[in-house]
Chains A and B, each alone.
Chain A
Amino acid sequence: MRYPFSVGRSDFIQGDEAIARAAILAGCRFYAGYPITPASEIFEAMALYMPLVDGVSIQMEDELGSIAAVIGASWTGAKAMTATSGPGFSLMMENLGYAVMTETPMVVVDVQRGGPSTGQPTLAAQGDVMQAIWGTHGDHSIIVLTPATVQEAFDMTIRAFNLAEKYRTPVVLLTDGEVGHMRERVNIPDPDEIERIYRKIPKSKEQGKYPFRDWDGDGVPPMPVFGRGYRAYITGLTHDERGKPKTVEAEIHESLIRRIVDKIEKNKKDIIDYETFDLDDADVAIVSYGIASRSAIRAVKILRKEGIKAGLLKLNVVWPFDFEMIERIAERVNRIYVAEMNLGQVYHLVKEGANGKAEVELIPKIGGEVHTPKDIIERVR
């Protein structure tokens, strides 16, 4: 396999470009999108690369069409992705729910900018966290990853595909305009060393008849591929294990939705990823993620030099959420600060997790600029 970019060495590229290259290395061969700042460079790269790897990159009429095309592509067996920013992400909410309900593996990238509405097109924000988790209606669970560097944007894109395929679910890569547009040195591994997970497909005719039956007890049914011999019925309506609409039977709805939620929530340990900096002996904990966490790392280092025992929990996955871990931290520290580029979103999750065992305070920042280390230090000091 020849790739239209250099592999097995480091390169100096933007976050958006890293996401596109990682997607292709993860096996993505279908991209549908609609241009929007600051996500357009992902589309530009996909338009350039896809024809060279026998893939498809298509511009749709809008973001509703983009995500719909991605869902369709996934059911033909392709690893598929779309990317957008706030306004487009809002338009995708309906079909994101369709993807959850039909258990369609796919990756949706949201390169966050200031909102609501068209907001601040060129500036970074982290205001879409709750939307990524809960933006689509109805009971559900989903996976949301939050890269802080160009390298993490690369690595987490590959992970997003693997999680999507493993758990047969849409995964949101929630990044921002700063990470999307910054250039950093990125290690692009040898393609043979990349772990790639592919969805389970039916092992028999019998399995193929039941695209929504949990055959092996892990909550993830094998997924038939359109055009390869199975007549699968796919609907957003509540459906039985064959996929047929069953919209009034409480027990069918309950078993379907509980399985869709549980396949993620019961595998939290496998999905959740985080890093800690100086947290073990800390009196004060900072929780942060994505671009804001970089300034938080610097802030912790400066606070430590001043003799303040600060530590950082950097979340790489903001959903599913480890409430129990936050409680364990809250039992050890006097106070938890949450630094995020919004007016309080993960803050509420942390507060729930802390369960009254420690004070939880928000260090918000909006307007487009990332927190400076000073913004954080002055609050903690």
Chain B
Amino acid sequence: MTQIRIAGFGGQGVILAGVILGEAAAIEGLNVLQTQDYGSQSRGGHSVADVIISREPLYDVMVTKADVLMAMSQIGYNGAIDSLREGGTLIIDTDLVKSDREFIGAPFTRLAEEKVGLALTVNMVALGYLVAKTGIVKKESVEEAIRRRVPRGTEEINLKAFRIGYEEGAK
């Protein structure tokens, strides 16, 4: 069983990233649970997506000790860092998050702006990085999930963003 928590602020597409990761796991026939927690404001409040993936029957309903924490903003990091288990993988946006724990990461927002050309795709860039680093699901499953879940007409730019993040993580 792998517990993944993605934390950021509202507007970064944190929950969609969690849903797509979950859908990818479902496509692979894995047992998967996705839940979310967010502030009532549409932008700027905290936003957390939890994904639990398991080959065994899945009873858990929440992330208790995250194996992977991806913090896309400082507010997300501050609220979620205590949930990362010792020795767990911490992934951060290296431009936006400061951490005194061991981490890996990349400037996701900058990559989305400069390489994809659309800051809104930061969630897909970060997801690509996470998938490359953890191997929790296959790249192809995520691409299929992206095609199913993003608004029609935005498939290509989201796939591009995902691949840029994936390449960054595979380096």
Binding site for B on A (CB under 8 A): 10-12, 122, 178, 181-185, 291, 294-295, 297-298, 369-370, 372-374
Contacts and interface: CB of A to CB of B under 8 A. Distances in A.
Interface of B: 19, 22-23, 25-27, 29-36, 40, 58-62, 64
Contacts, number: 54
B33 A298 contact: no
Contacts of A295: 59-61
Contacts of B36: 181
Residues of A contacting B: mostly: mixed
Nearest to B33: A184
B58 A184 contact: yes
Given A183-B33, A184-B32, A185-B31, A298 B22 contact: no
Contact of A294 (B19, B22, B32, B59): B59
B141 to A, nearest CB: 11
Contact of A181 (B30, B35, B59): B35
A185 B26 contact: yes
Nearest to B57: A297
Nearest to A124: B61
Given A182-B34, A182-B35, A183-B33, A370 B19 contact: no
Contacts of A10: 26, 29
A113 to B, nearest CB: 14
A35 to B, nearest CB: 16
Contacts of B30: 185
Contacts of B25: 185
A373 B61 CA distance: 10
Given A178-B61, A185-B25, 8 more contacts: A178-B35, A181-B36, A182-B35, A183-B33, A184-B33, A185-B30, A291-B61, A298-B60
Contacts of B31: 184-185
Give the residue among B22, B60, B61 with the most A Cβ atoms within 10 A: B61
B22 A370 contact: no
A181 B31 CA distance: 17
Nearest to B18: A183
Contacts of A373: 60, 64
Given A12-B22, A12-B23, A182 B33 contact: yes
A-B pairs, top 9 by smallest CB distance, nearest first, are: A12-B26, A185-B26, A183-B34, A297-B59, A294-B59, A12-B23, A182-B35, A298-B59, A370-B61
